[in-house]
Every structure is written in C-alpha cells, then in structure tokens.
Amino acid sequence: MRLKDFDESGPWRRVRSVHGMAHYSGDYASATTGGQVVYESRLELARLLLADFDPSVCGIYAQPLHMVARIGERVRSHVPDFLLVMRSGTVRVVNVKPASRVQDPKVAQALAWPGQMVERHGWEYEIWSGAAPTLLENIRFLAAYRHPGVVPADEVERAWQEVVDGDELALAERRLAGDRKREEARPALMALLWDGRLTTDLEARPLSGECVLRRRG
C-alpha cells in the first residue's frame, strides 16, 4: 500500500442521500484538494472542515481503502473514513465515531484492529469523536471564505499589508475600511484567517470584534 496508489482513486463506497435517511451525507468542496470530498454524517463533515482548515494537511481522501484481515477465527473488513496526507510526509488514517459509540466494547474492538494494521504500516491512526463547539462554529463561519476568488485577491493582499500584529478585529476592520462601512472590510480579513496568514484564538470565544489578530509568516 503506497501513497501514490491513491492519486487517481475514488471513495470505496458510493454515498447517496435518500429522503428519510438517519445519516446526513453529501459532498464537500474542499479548498485543500480543489475537488469534492464525500462524507456520511455531520460528524464526518466536522472532521473534514478541520482537515481542510489545517495548513499542515495537503491531501484528503474519503473512504480511501478496503481493509481485510483475519482476526482470531473471523475474517473482518473495514473502510476507514478519511486518509490525510501531511506536508511533512506523514499519513494519517482517520475513523470518525461519536464518543458514545466508542464506549461500546464491540465498536471499540472493530476500530482497534484497523489501527494496529495502519500503525504497523508506519502511518498514524486517529479515532475522532468531536472538538470544542466554539472552534467548530468559528471554522464553519470561516469556511465561507475558503475558495480563492470569493474575496478579490487585491483586497486580500491590501488587508495583509495593512493589518498590524496584535490588532483587535474591529480596529483592523476600521483601518482597512476607511470611508466605507466597517463590515465591508471584513471578508478580506476572514479570508486571511482561513488561509492561516492571520490567526486568532478560535476556541476561546465566537469570532467578534474583540478577537486579537496575529500575523503568521
């Protein structure tokens, strides 16, 4: 199993949304991949948003492979939810499960053996059950600005040149807006936050004018 084998691969299962389904599935337009990535639940979508926002992630594959192994006297199979490729060269296989289900011994066992196989292969393994609600809400908001061109590039670059390290968001907006309404300058700053050139504490509170901006790079 080599990373390059995934270059032209598609999801192992076909994801379909049917009226009355208990799960929430769909396609997410990823800024990282430049294409659609499938998900099968809101929790999977949350993990996908975090991966797309993470500057250390350069590749995302959904349902990347079908694993089969003999465990004891049984042949077991498993399709992980995501495979993430890091800029460092590290590969991480991710399974997404609600915390309540991970506590079930049968579910825990079903998730354990794939992890053992992945780690023997030299890759990382993650069982993900959620993140801080404030962090997720902030990233969902910033995701509206994730694609190049949503905010004109010249406006984003002007904001980058004018924002001062340590500015509160409201102050940066007022300086950038000039004679315009403050809110008109906000999209460029949001695009910089999504891009990671600006950072702020996204876990402590919802995004507001009091958030302190830090320049990166």
φ, ψ of residue 101 in degrees (nearest 5): -80, -30
The closest of 53, 51, 58 to 3, measured between CA atoms, is: 58
- Residue 152, number of CB atoms within 10 A of its CB: 12
pLDDT class of 172 with cuts at 50, 70, 90: very high
Segment 201-213 shows an average pLDDT of: 96
Both 124 and 144 in one domain: the answer is no
pLDDT, residue 79, reads 93
pLDDT class of 72 with cuts at 50, 70, 90: confident
Beta bridge partners of 57: 86
Both 104 and 137 in one domain: the answer is no
Instruction: Tell me which residue has tokens 């199993």.
Output: 1
pLDDT, residue 74, reads 87
The closest of 110, 139, 155 to 201, measured between CA atoms, is: 139
Please enumerate, as own/partner, the contacts of 102-108 that have beta carbons within 8 Å and a separation of 24 or more.
102/127, 102/129
Between residues 18 and 61, which one has the greater pLDDT? Answer: 61
Both 90 and 153 in one domain: the answer is no
pLDDT class of 215 with cuts at 50, 70, 90: very high
Among 128, 158, 183, residue at a domain's last position: 128
Tell me the C-alpha distance between 173 and 158, whole Å. Answer: 12
Among 86, 108, 128, residue at a domain's last position: 128
The pTM of this model reads 0.89
* Residues in CB range of 136: below 8 A, 6 or more apart: 46, 49, 50
pLDDT, residue 25, reads 86
Q: How far is CA 212 from CA 149, 197, 198, 200, 215, in A?
A: 25, 14, 10, 6, 10
pLDDT, residue 141, reads 98
Read off the pLDDT of residues 19-58 as tens digits, 9 standing for 90 and up: 555 567 899 999 999 999 999 999 999 999 999 999 999 9
pLDDT, residue 42, reads 94
Both 47 and 82 in one domain: the answer is yes
User: Mean pLDDT, the chain, as a whole number?
Assistant: 91
Domain with 41 in it: what CATH number? 3.40.1350.10
Q: Starting at the edge strand that comes first in sequence, how are the strands of the sheet with 57-62 ordered?
A: 57-62, 82-86, 91-96, 124-128
Domain extent for 123? 3-128
Number of domains in the chain: 2
- Of all residues in the chain, what percent carry a pLDDT higher than 70? 89
